[in-house]
Structure 1
Amino acid sequence: MISVAIVEDEHLAARELENNLLSLRPDAVHIKVKLENVSQAVAWFSENEVDLIFMDVHLGDGNSFSIFEQIELKTPVIFTTAYDQYAIQAFKQCSIDYLLKPIDEDDLEQALNKYDDMFVKPKSVDIESLQNSLQSIIGGQKYQERFMVSRGDRILSLDLDQVSYFMADGKACYLFSKDGTRYLFDGTLANLEKKLDPNIFFRINRKFIVSYSSIIDMVYYSKTRIKLNLKPTCEEAMDAIVSQDRSSDFKKWLNQ
């Protein structure tokens, strides 16, 4: 049984969400508490816990993100709102999904399935990842810190803190620096991905590896895909869309 808290200042919206949850998962969901504002949420979560929180962004006494500034809240959150400009801020918290009002029942079902996949269903052991983790602990794995690139007939070596993102274009691979310069990089994204610090970089699709600092904001491109606005901007960066099979891992990466 999943214990759920609903943080919503509109009584009708809270009741509708509760009814939909109980309709979708009648034997698996228990609504433990319904809270109406930031102050109630801070007081209740300071003393109590649940398995999952549905939280509206706009509450009567302020923005719900202020809750995370007042208390340490590690419970998975599914944010609900009528606005989409808060997506990147939501994913920086403990968010596993972001539902736009009025909430579609299919979207709600997908969000619950995502919670099940992340926190309920037993995970299979990834032997390769386990071996890599052990190697990192034992051998003190080091990630690449400098990158040899070229521009015209010039050859340069760029430090890690100068790198914004990498892009594949056909057989060529390019490095975009934070000052907006595009350099030719000798390598492939597949090989490069293994050498980059996964806390800093993430491969969102076959074409892009992005750094966390390169993301200006994000919007939903479809129900399961996210489009990134990157800096520096370029025409090719319009393809910076997190692939469907990477969306779940991408959200975990934002939350780590």
Structure 2
Amino acid sequence: MRFNSSVLAVLVSSAVVSAQQVVTVQVGGNSSSPGGFTIFTPNQISAPKGSIVSFQFTGAPGNHTVTQSNFANPCDPVQGGFDSGWIARPEGLPKAPEWNLTITDDQTPIWFYCKQLIGPNAKPHCNLGMVGVINVGQKSFPDFQAAASTAAAVGQTEGGFVGIGASATGAPFIPSGAIYANPGQASATAPGGGSSASGGAPPTGTNPPNSGFINGAGSGLVLLATLFGMATVL
């Protein structure tokens, strides 16, 4: 039997995709979660080169980022690191926002944190332990967590979708009802029908996603505090 070369290429590509390992990480929690609202679950994972780490923003209500840092500075964006942008999810959404990273280097630890400044007891999420690592290697994750808890400041510099050791092909999937903002990207998108905003720096001294955005349908200003019915977005 003879195969057309293009058909064979499609079959080979499909086989590679189906065999590709996917590791899921839940971003955020709720009042009944063991780690509360400010947690990545799991916060330590192993992912070989070529595999996908799927960040599912399941915490509701939740307002989080997945931002690359390093071991020495757990709550500060590393230069050239990845950044999901801000994803806010109210309660009641049937589908979670999602962002997929493909691992390009599995020999070096990939550290990450949430940049959210407003959390329980008025502490930033990173200080509350919302940090994680992919392929920890010889480093100590408890030491990383401890350093995060005492970090004097939580860095807010916006990164891109391509990071060190991992990269994404683009913006997260944002379902209808969620809100996405990424001031670091020239043209943020909301592929799932949710609201989005981009461009311009967030107001100084405030949590960026709480400052209000133009929604994807163009119906005007959306204040996340109003959306969630609370002044503090977890």
> How high is the TM-score relative to the length of structure 2?
0.27
Higher relative contact order (CA 8 A, sep 6+): 2
Larger Rg: 1
- Give the helix-richer structure, 1 or 2: 1
> How high is the TM-score relative to the length of structure 1?
0.25
